[in-house]
Structure 1
Amino acid sequence: MCQDMMRAEIWLQDTMGSQKGIEELASKMGYSSSQVRRRFRHYFGLSPGAYRDRLRLEKAARLLIHTSSNINQIAGVCGYRNHSAFSRAFQRHYEQSPRRFRQAVRVSLKRRLNATEDFHYDIREQPSQKAVLTRLYRPDRLRDDLRDWLRHTPGAEALPARLDKAPPVAIFHDRPLEGALPRLDLGVQLSGGDANLALPPAFRTLHLPAQRHACVRLQDIGQLDAAVLYMACRGVSGEGEPISGDAPLLLQAGHGLELRIPLL
Structure 2
Amino acid sequence: MMMDSREFDVAATEVILHEHTNILMPMTLVAQQVGLSCSHLRRKFKQSFGVTPTDYHAAIRLDRAAMLLIYTRKSIMEVALECGYQDHAAFSRVFRRHFGSSPRGYRESMRMEIATNGLVRDDATPVNVVEHDEEYFLVMRSFGDDKNSEESLRQMLLSMCPQHAKESIVESVCFYYDDPNITPTHRMRKDVGYRMTRRATWNPPLPLRWVTVPAGRSMSATLGSEKDREQCFKHMAIRWAQEHNEQIRVDHSRVIYHEGLRDAGMKSLELRVPLD
Provide the residue aligned with 1:33 in structure 2. 38
Provide the residue aligned with 1:171 in structure 2. 175
Provide the secondary structure at the position in 1 that maps to 2:89. Answer: helix
Q: List aligned pairs for 1:225-236, cutoff 5 A.
A: 225-235=230-240
Offset at 1:118?
A: 1.4
Provide the residue aligned with 2:160 in structure 1. 158
> For residues 175-195 of structure 1, what are the alpha-carbon distances to aligned partners after superposition, in whole Å with 9 as ceiling and x for unaligned?
485422211111112213x42
Which consecutive aligned stretches of 4+ in structure 1 deviate over 6 angstroms post-superposition? none
> For residues 85-142 of structure 1, what are the alpha-carbon distances to aligned partners after superposition, in whole Å with 9 as ceiling and x for unaligned?
1111100111100011112222333443665751122111222112111101124476
Distance 2:130 2:42 in 1: 42
Offset at 1:25?
A: 0.8
1:56 maps onto 2:61 in alignment = yes
Answer with 101-110 or 165-174: which moved more: 101-110
1:185 maps onto 2:229 in alignment = no
Provide the residue aligned with 2:96 in structure 1. 91
Provide the secondary structure at the position in 2 that maps to 1:166. Answer: strand
Distance 1:100 1:48 in 2: 29
Provide the secondary structure at the position in 2 that maps to 1:68. Answer: coil
> For residues 57-90 of structure 1, what are the alpha-carbon distances to aligned partners after superposition, in whole Å with 9 as ceiling and x for unaligned?
1110111112222111211110113111111110
Structure 2 stretches lacking a partner, 5+ long = 263-267
Q: Quick one: which amino acid aligns to residue 189 of structure 2?
A: R
Distance 1:199 1:237 in 2: 40
1:171 and 1:184 in contact (8 A); partners too: yes
2:139 and 2:157 in contact (8 A); partners too: no
2:114 and 2:120 in contact (8 A); partners too: no
Provide the residue aligned with 1:134 in structure 2. 140
Q: Aligned pair in 2 of structure 1 residues 114, 84: CA closer, same or farther (>3 Å)?
A: closer
Offset at 1:169?
A: 1.3
What is the TM-score with the length of structure 1 in the denominator?
Answer: 0.88
1:197 maps onto 2:202 in alignment = yes
> For residues 222-264 of structure 1, what are the alpha-carbon distances to aligned partners after superposition, in whole Å with 9 as ceiling and x for unaligned?
2222212322341475367443333411111121111101223
RMSD of Structure 2 on Structure 1 (CA): 2.3
Q: 2:26 aligns with which of 11, 21, 27?
A: 21
Distance 1:142 1:80 in 2: 37
What is the TM-score with the length of structure 2 in the denominator?
Answer: 0.84
Distance 2:11 2:103 in 1: 30
1:125 maps onto 2:131 in alignment = yes
> For residues 187-226 of structure 1, what are the alpha-carbon distances to aligned partners after superposition, in whole Å with 9 as ceiling and x for unaligned?
112213x421252332111211123211111232222222
2:130 and 2:218 in contact (8 A); partners too: yes
Q: List aligned pairs for 1:99-110, cutoff 5 A.
A: 99-110=104-115
Provide the secondary structure at the position in 1 that maps to 2:170. Answer: coil
Offset at 1:149?
A: 4.7
Q: 1:74 aligns with which of 70, 75, 79?
A: 79
Residue correspondences, number: 258
> For residues 28-47 of structure 1, what are the alpha-carbon distances to aligned partners after superposition, in whole Å with 9 as ceiling and x for unaligned?
22211000111000000111
1:66 and 1:236 in contact (8 A); partners too: no
